[in-house]
Amino acid sequence: MENPWKNISLSDYEGHMSLDNVMQLETLSTIMKRQFTGYDVSTAMVLGVAGGNGLEHISKEKYTTVYGVDVNNAYLDEVKKRYDHLGNVLRCICTDLTTEYKALPAAQLIIADLLIEYIGYECFKNVVQQVKPQYVSCVIQVNTDDSFVSDSPYLHSFDGLDSVHSTIEKDKLISSMAEISYYHIYDDEEFPLPNGKKLVLIDFVK
């Protein structure tokens, strides 16, 4: 089965995420600024980079390499255009993390925002063990209803995601990461969204 993310246009994705009743694009950019500046590292990997929201916080003085990973090559083409000024610091990798993670290079920090929901705990652990970061910084979404996609004019663009989406629970993620010796850093932050959902930032250290 083809990954449904390959069939979602970037304009639909970003249009939905930036709506006033969703506000995830703006909120995630705020979170990613903290993720990029929070640790003493010089290499990072952003899993599910999409159109590059948040990459504006990359400092070329701090980072030698930031990998942007996504399954949709059209997304990565746009990332390269938008962040051409980053030069060789930004390196894009088109891969399906559920099947092709063994080709990923090493990085000191993994950033995985709203990504684990689409690959699951076990696959995420496989990716982490391949990349071998010192730090892992994640964002998961906590829903107030049964719908993980907020109502919007773009709603039906995401219909195919039902086949790959699963709810990620904070406690289960923490115990799952502990199985591979990544331990929870106890400074989680919650970011409420206009629609009643919230994003939760959870970090781990090796």
150-194: per-residue pLDDT in tens?
444 444 445 556 656 788 999 999 999 999 999 999 878 899 888
Tokens 């990997």 locate to: 45
pLDDT score, position 165: 76
What are the backbone dihedrals phi and psi of residue 149, each rounded to the nearest 5 degrees, phi first?
-110, 125
DSSP string, 144-205: SSS-SS--STTGGGGGGGGGT-----HHHHHHHHHTTT-EEEEEEEEEE-TTS-EEEEEEEE
Instruction: Give CA–CA dist 52/134, Å, rounded.
Output: 23
Domain spans of the chain, in order of start:
4-205
pLDDT in tens, 69-81: 999 999 999 999 9
**Eight-state DSSP code of residue 21:** T
**Tokens, residue 13:** 């994705």
Q: CATH 3.40.50.150: does it fit domain 4-205?
A: yes
pTM above 0.95, yes or no: no
